[in-house]
Structure 1
């Protein structure tokens, strides 16, 4: 008897579902739509996690090795139509893919590198130089002092601080001039003033004294210089 009742119950349930589908009766999905404020919060969390994972990711990158220094006197500006620009060659330059990836995070930087009418000199730190930083590129001692280590980059406001710091770091390495002569003071996209000097066969960025390992690319709207360190991006 129990078996018969179970079978009848199952049959009735099946018929009800079939009728519901046929008559277009509303269904009640188990998944609920996440409120938009929560969606935005989750996006911020994922973005912050991405920032926090950069340090680990850096360890898997291969540093530049064996590159030869290109003499400054051999650098030539190429202005022909159709020639590659900085944004074309930067991601392909060996050993600086970490910095190249960071330049694509900010419209102000990416837009400048994509503009064939505005020349730039990109001072791209090697992967290992960024990896060896005493703090992450988006960290600021001032933020930790003001908000504490736990809350400095927590929540929406903390996320915004991290993004501003990271943009400042990237902008400090984009000189808005090319060609760039020895001893000539030039401004970065972040507003700082830099120059360079030559000592024998070596080139140094001043005032930080960071050595230029190679001038890796010369294209129609500028050059890519690979650095052994990072420019002082004091925050």
Structure 2
């Protein structure tokens, strides 16, 4: 502890001694690091209202695209925790089971749960960014597309475009965050993977 304290106190004196000998020491952070935007993974980590979605997503291999800057940009439509909690069946549960008397093993149950989660998370990812709100986009879930329609509620004319659309029947975009590898839209509902 004493040695660390002495080192901390001596560092400015050493730097001044080197500087007085005609050598210049630059202790600046490169500009590139200061202006970098966070990745989608960074945004999901710090956005507390999306922790349930991210806890599902980070267990999947496709979540690697959230951390990879410089890859194909993605648009995430991320349900808030409140929206996920309001679901009658949680993402890992999938559709209501058919009571056919068949008993599955724990391994089969785990495998099915992972498949349900992957389908659900994939339905919330558009593999391009930025997007326009007058088109339909395919998601990572095969056969699932997302359409945007203009909201019927009157709002501020100066409000951003994303705040004026509805996804599906009644899902609204309530926030937007830009990342180095895409855009994250916070939504007040969950997109069906059926």
Settle same-fold status: TM greater than 0.5. Answer: yes
Q: Please give the TM-score of this superposition, normalised by the length of structure 1.
A: 0.57
**Equivalent position of 1:225 in the other structure:** 185
* Cα distance change, pair 118–147 in 1 and its aligned pair in 2 (3 A): farther
Give the greater-gyration-radius structure (CA).
1
Map 1:83-102; keep pairs closer than 5 Å: 83-102=37-56
Which residue of the partner structure matches residue 159 of structure 1?
Answer: 110
Q: Which residue of 2 aligns with 1:111?
A: 64
Structure 2 residue corresponding to 1:130, chosen from 84, 94, 104: 84
Q: Whose helix fraction is larger, Structure 1's or Structure 2's?
A: 1
Go from structure 1 to structure 2 and tell me whether the alpha carbon gap of 1:141 and 1:88 turns closer, same or farther (over 3 Å shift).
closer
Equivalent pair of 1:196/1:203 in contact (CA under 8 Å): no
Q: Please report the RMSD computed on the Cα atoms of aligned residues, expressed in angstroms.
A: 2.3
Match for residue 198 of structure 1 among 132, 139, 150: 150
Could you tell me how far 1:198 is from its partner in structure 2?
Answer: 3.2
Q: Residue in 2 aligned with 1:141? A: 95
Gaps of 5+ in 2: 1-33, 156-162
The alignment of Structure 1 onto Structure 2 pairs a total of residues equal to 150
Q: Does residue 167 of structure 2 align to residue 213 of structure 1? A: no
Distance 2:54 2:132 in 1: 24
- Distance in 2, matches of 1:101 and 1:203, equals 29
Residue number in structure 1 paired with 2:124 = 173
SS at match of 1:95: helix
Which residue matches 2:14?
A: none
TM-score by length of 2: 0.69
CA distance in 1, matches of 2:168, 2:180: 28
